[in-house]
A and B are shown apart, each in its own frame.
Chain A
Amino acid sequence: MRDQETTIGIQKEKAWIEDSKRDIQAFESLYMKYYPEILRFIYRRTDNQMLAEDLCANTFYKALSNIKKYEFRGKPFGNWLYRIAANEVNKHFKNKQPVFVIDYHSISESLGIPENNVPNAEAQLQLAFAQLSDGEIKLIELKHFEGYTFKELSLQLGEGESAIKMRHYRLLEKMKNILNQGDEKD
Chain B
Amino acid sequence: MRKTDFRIRRDNTKLRSKGDFGRFRNQYEQRRKRETRSKFIILAIGIVLLTLLVLYYTHAAHLPATGSLNELKIENVQQKL
Contact = CB atoms under 8 A, between A and B. Distances in A.
A97 B9 CA distance: 18
A47 interface: yes
Contact of B10 (A25, A43, A104): A104
A36 B25 contact: no
A99 B8 CA distance: 11
A130 to B, nearest CB: 6
Contact of A130 (B2, B3, B8): B3
A24 B4 CA distance: 37
Contact of B24 (A40, A49, A57, A105): A57
B19 interface: yes
B57 interface: no
Given A57-B27, A130-B4, A106 B12 contact: yes
A97 B4 contact: yes
B4, B17, B27, B29 interface centre (most CB from chain A within 10 Å): B4
B56 interface: no
Given A32-B18, A32-B19, A105-B10, A24 B25 contact: yes
B59 interface: no
Contact of B8 (A35, A52, A61, A104): A104
B4 A35 contact: no
Interface in B42-65: none
Contacts of A100: 4-7
Interface of A: 24-25, 27-28, 31-32, 35-36, 39-40, 43, 47, 49, 52-53, 57, 60-61, 64-65, 96-106, 122, 125-126, 129-130, 145
Given A57-B27, A105-B10, 10 more contacts: A24-B28, A25-B25, A32-B19, A36-B19, A49-B14, A49-B15, A101-B8, A103-B12, A104-B8, A125-B8
29 contacts: A28-B21, A28-B25, A31-B19, A31-B21, A32-B21, A35-B19, A39-B15, A39-B17, A43-B15, A47-B7, A47-B9, A52-B15, A53-B17, A57-B27, A60-B24, A61-B27, A96-B2, A99-B4, A100-B4, A100-B6, A101-B7, A101-B8, A102-B7, A103-B9, A105-B10, A122-B8, A126-B6, A126-B8, A130-B3
